[in-house]
Amino acid sequence: MNERIAHALDAVTAERATTALLSVRDLSVRFRLRGGRGVAAVSDASFDLAPGECLALVGESGCGKSVLASALLGLLPANAEARGTAWLAASATAGDAGDSAVLRAGGRPGLDLLAADERTLARTVRGRLVGLVPQSPAAHLTPVRTVRSQLEETVRELTDTPRRERRAAAEAAAERAAFPAGHLDRYPHELSGGLAQRAATALALIGDAPLLLADEPTTGLDRELVDRTADELRRHTDTGKALLLITHDLAAARRVADRVAVMYAGRIVETAPAARFFDGSGPRHPYARGLLDALPEREFTPIPGLPPELSNLPEGCAFAPRCPRATAACAVRPDMRAQVACHHPHGEPGDADRA
């Protein structure tokens, strides 16, 4: 890629940051282990997310996607250390009745989610400014309360709504999440995995938060329900909300996403418009291209080898041992230039594989 195109892409990134609802810069998460060892679960992740936009964060299991989401909501375990910034813009906090620290943190309108204290996160952020569809819904649902009562309680906490209207709101949220009305008065332990997933989705949607984090929201669902859930998330986004969709389901990502970010071994290695990623010239990073080639409807060719251990990452490109395009240059870690972190990306001048 020539310098003119690279600079143009960098300019687009800078412009996107000025209009972003969420702007994440150099987010890293490290877990402290016994014996002084550490695991770099997320390393220097940066991305922007605008109102009305869905960014799909994709990659193999264990690459750090869910850890990133937990960091944004302050839900990391005690042995985790997070650094960087995750700035939630003033446009998200403007309608909130929380304290002034949320509306103007450090003299800047908005809120740095990574720097917020637990009181702010619990009382103002979670469920109000940032909704969550969790990866493990059974642990997210209150075991001693029915799904209906949890939905109605969420409405009561967020708005001063009469009881009759709360009931209607709960039923409407259940319908949006394809949760059967006949199961609303059941307890979480009476639900299948797929039903628990849909109940958690309904709880996230009912809050109508400006930013929604959906962590594997289609787990345990058949293809028809996957498509229905993806379509509802798309409708939610089209109302002006921002959506970070964390998924390994590339078909669901294709159905709902505006942009795609690919994560490998704790690092974002490529971001691209969804149209180009899925239907245009395709991904530029060899790992991202390998993800698509492994799909049954494509070449059905698995990526050889295994991801590296996060506790023992190589100095250079983490994908190099599995990459057919690797050279001696890959012993040095590539920078994220023109939205791809690779010394030999597809689509370079003279690349026989470019579309």
Asked if residue 97 belongs to a domain, the reply is yes
Max mean pLDDT among 99-108, 162-171, 325-334 falls in 325-334
The pLDDT confidence band at residue 96, using thresholds 50, 70 and 90, is: very low
How do residues 233-250 score in pLDDT, each as one tens digit? 999 999 999 999 999 999
How do residues 6-44 score in pLDDT, each as one tens digit? 554 555 555 566 689 999 999 999 999 887 788 999 999
Q: Does residue 284 surpass a pLDDT of 80?
A: yes
Asked if residue 272 belongs to a domain, the reply is yes
Give the range among 15-29, 91-105, 224-238, 341-355 with minimum mean pLDDT: 91-105
Range of the domain at 103: 3-129+209-300
Q: For position 277, what pLDDT does the model report?
A: 97
Average pLDDT over residues 312-323: 94
Domain at 291, CATH number: 3.40.50.300
Average pLDDT over residues 194-209: 92
Q: How many domains does the chain have?
A: 1
Asked if residue 27 belongs to a domain, the reply is yes
Asked if residue 187 belongs to a domain, the reply is no
Q: Does residue 123 surpass a pLDDT of 60?
A: yes
Q: For position 354, what pLDDT does the model report?
A: 41
How do residues 59-76 score in pLDDT, each as one tens digit? 998 999 999 999 999 999
Asked if residue 314 belongs to a domain, the reply is no
Query: Do 220 and 194 touch, CB atoms closer than 8 A?
Result: yes
Asked if residue 290 belongs to a domain, the reply is yes
Entry pTM: 0.89
Max mean pLDDT among 97-101, 164-168, 288-292 falls in 288-292
Give the range among 11-20, 216-225, 339-348 with minimum mean pLDDT: 11-20
Q: For position 101, what pLDDT does the model report?
A: 47
Give the range among 93-97, 150-154, 349-353 with minimum mean pLDDT: 93-97
